[in-house]
Amino acid sequence: MISLINDIKITDYIMPTWTLHTEFKFDAAHFIEGYDGKCGRMHGHSYKVKMTAKSNKLNPSQYLETPDMVCDFKELKWAAKDSEKGGFDHGFLNELMPENTTAERIAEFIHKETKSRIPGEIELTVTVWETETSWVEYTDKDV
Ligand SMILES: Nc1nc2c(c(=O)[nH]1)N=C([C@H](O)[C@H](O)COP(=O)(O)OP(=O)(O)OP(=O)(O)O)CN2
Ligand SMILES: [Zn+2]
């Protein structure tokens, strides 16, 4: 934003920014449909997930009426729950999500589901580690 106030040129308007970070793990079985190789057979991973939620404003939440949170950490960690209680832990991913179960699609799915639980203005980044050495980041910010 560029404006002139009393001959002072203001080229930038500083907004407060809060960035939440939270991590969790879940163990799950999957196979990649159509994969010509070992990943096409049923196997399991201990997935690690990092959620990053960025906002210029604070909001109320299900458990707090006053606007003092970007969003509740609980809402960012739903996928860590038991697969029989709405999460992914000890679940069979091929039955828990509609897309093929690549790390890319898992990150996209967690992102989409989480966005439906948190205020719309929050910029969300989801990072999923399928193994210690392979991970993917999915974001809705401009890249
Ligand atoms: N871009 C992607 N590539 C692969 C994915 C994926 O989700 N996105 N997934 C797999 C398999 O699920 C596989 O289980 C993981 O494979 P890999 O990285 O090979 O893991 P390993 O620990 O078995 O590593 P090795 O080097 O084979 O020992 C594959 N690719
Ligand atoms: Zn796998």
Enumerate the domain spans of the chain: 15-139
CATH superfamily of 15-139: 6-pyruvoyl tetrahydropterin synthase/QueD (3.30.479.10)
Could you tell me the distance, in angstroms and rounded to a whole number, from the CA of residue 126 to the centre of ligand 1? 19
| Ligand minimally distant from the alpha carbon of residue 47 | 2
Strands (E), the chain: 3-5, 8-10, 18-30, 43-55, 59-61, 64-69, 91-92, 123-131, 134-139
Test site for ligand 1: of 102, 108, 126, most ligand atoms within 8 A of the Cβ: 102
Token couple for 89: 């832990």
Q: What is the ipTM of this complex?
A: 0.91
Q: Which residues are catalytic?
A: 39, 90, 130
| Annotated binding-site residue? 45 | yes
- Give this prediction's pTM: 0.90
| Annotated binding-site residue? 30 | yes
Q: Return the ligand 1 atom nearest residue 131 CA.
A: 22
Token couple for 81: 């729950």
Question: What digits encode the pLDDT tens for the residues 19-72?
Answer: 999 999 999 999 999 999 999 999 999 999 999 999 999 999 999 999 999 999
